[in-house]
Amino acid sequence: MQFTQIKVTGMTCGGCSSNVTKALNAVNGVVNVIVSLSDANATVEYDEKLTSPEQLKLAIKEAGYGVDNTDTSPPSTGKGCCG
């Protein structure tokens, strides 16, 4: 098992952190997820044989949120789930 921390942008409320948690838990191989709204990050325990940090970041993006400042994709609108 591996652990990774991912900086998440665009979360504005508990609903946002819940959405990110659900998106990460839906990824095959994810064992445990802790999302902190106040720290704007997600700590994920996962099976490295079944998924990768890149797949975890993609799940966050597909849920409508951004991933850390080193990400080269277009920035998140910052609207989160509260629009």
CB 23 within 8 A of CB 59: yes
Residue 83 lies in a domain: no
Residue 76 lies in a domain: no
CATH number at residue 43: 3.30.70.100
- Could you give the number of structural domains in the chain? 1
Residue 79 lies in a domain: no
3-state secondary structure of 80: coil
Q: Residue 68: what pLDDT?
A: 82
Tens digits of per-residue pLDDT, 49-66? 999 999 999 999 999 999
Mean pLDDT of 67-82: 56
Residue 81 lies in a domain: no
Residue 62 lies in a domain: yes
Q: Which residues constitute the domain of residue 63?
A: 2-67
Residue 18 lies in a domain: yes
Alpha-carbon distances of 36 from 9, 16, 47, 73, rounded to whole Å: 11, 10, 21, 23
Tens digits of per-residue pLDDT, 5-59? 999 999 999 999 999 999 999 999 999 999 999 999 999 999 999 999 999 999 9
